[in-house]
C-alpha cells in the first residue's frame, strides 16, 4: 500500500540519519529540559520521554531521580541510547515504538510526566490529533506534558517545520490546560547558541 511505502521510506531516512551524528544530538541534555528540573516545573515521577532519540534527556532525568522510559521509532537511536546509559551506569528503559501508538505499549494513565524534545515539530497535520490522544492516554489525570520545539521565530536554517504559539494552542487546548508557552533555545550543532524554540507546559484535564 502507498502509505506503507511512505512509512518504510521515512524509517529508512531516520535510520540513516542516526548512522552519523544528527544536528539535534548535542551529546548532553537540552538546556531547556535541565532548566525545567532546576526550576521545579518538572517534578520527579514516572516519566516518558517520547521520541527519546539518543537518550541524553532521559539519562539526565534518571540521574535527577526520575523513573524514566524512553521510546523512539528508530532502532538505531534506541541502541545508541542504551549504550550511553550503560556506560554511565544509569537505569533507563529504552524501547523501540511508535509515538502514535502509545496505547499499544503502556497502560492508561501510567505516567506522571511526558516530555517531548523535538518530536512534535516533525509531525504532519494529520498526525497531530492522533499524537495528542496518545499523550492523553498515557498521562494520569493532572499529569504534565512538556514539549520543546522549533519556533516560528527561527528562520536561519532548513529542517523541521517551525511551530507557532497558535498551532500549539489549537492542537493541545482541547485536551490539556496550557500553563505556558515560553521562548527558549533548542540546542543543535548548527548554531553556536542554539536555535529559537518554544517550551510548552500543559496539564491533563
Per-residue pLDDT, 21:
77
Distance CA 161, CA 180 (A): 21
Per-residue pLDDT, 4:
45
Q: What is the CATH number of the domain that holds 87?
A: 3.40.50.150
What domain range includes position 89? 2-204
Q: Which of 34-38, 72-76, 112-116 has the lowest mean pLDDT?
A: 72-76
Closest CA to 54 of 88, 29, 33: 29
Per-residue pLDDT, 177:
98
User: Taking phi first (over 0 means left), then psi (-120 to 50 degrees means alpha), and beta for anything else, what does residue 53 get?
Assistant: left
Distance CA 54, CA 44 (A): 21
Strands 139-150 and 111-117: parallel
Taking the CB of residue 38, how many other CB atoms lie within 10 A of it?
Answer: 10
The β-bridge partners of 96 are: 72
Q: How confident is the model at residue 11 (pLDDT cuts 50, 70, 90)?
A: low
DSSP conformation class of 204: E
Per-residue pLDDT, 200:
98
Order of strands across the sheet that contains 93-96: 93-96, 67-72, 46-50, 111-117, 139-150, 195-204, 176-186
pLDDT tens profile 94-108: 999 999 999 999 999
Per-residue pLDDT, 10:
59
Predicted model pTM = 0.90
Total domains in the chain come to 1
Amino acid at each position: 500500500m502507498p502509505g506503507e511505502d511512505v512509512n518504510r521510506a521515512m524509517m529508512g531516512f531516520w535510520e540513516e540519519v542516526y548512522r552519523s551524528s544528527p544536528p539535534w544530538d548535542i551529546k548532553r541534555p537540552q538546556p531547556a529540559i535541565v532548566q525545567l528540573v532546576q526550576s521545579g516545573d518538572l517534578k520527579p515521577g514516572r516519566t516518558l520521554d517520547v521520541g527519546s532519540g539518543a537518550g541524553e534527556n532521559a539519562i539526565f532525568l534518571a540521574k535527577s531521580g526520575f523513573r524514566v522510559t524512553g521510546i523512539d521509532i528508530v532502532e538505531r537511536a534506541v541502541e545508541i541510547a542504551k549504550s550511553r546509559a550503560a556506560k554511565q551506569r544509569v537505569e533507563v528503559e529504552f524501547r523501540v515504538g511508535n509515538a502514535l501508538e502509545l496505547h499499544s505499549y503502556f497502560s492508561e494513565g501510567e505516567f506522571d510526566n511526558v516530555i517531548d524534545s523535538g518530536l512534535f515539530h516533525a509531525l504532519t497535520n494529520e498526525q497531530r490529533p492522533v499524537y495528542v490522544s496518545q499523550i492523553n492516554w498515557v498521562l494520569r489525570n493532572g499529569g504534565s506534558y512538556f514539549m520543546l520545539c522549533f519556533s516560528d521565530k527561527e528562520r536561519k536554517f532548513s529542517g523541521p517545520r517551525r511551530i507557532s504559539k497558535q498551532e500549539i494552542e489549537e492542537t493541545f487546548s482541547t485536551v490539556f490546560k496550557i500553563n505556558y508557552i515560553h521562548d527558549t533555545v533548542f540546542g543543535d550543532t548548527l548554531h553556536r547558541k542554539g536555535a529559537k524554540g518554544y517550551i510548552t507546559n500543559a496539564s491533563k484535564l
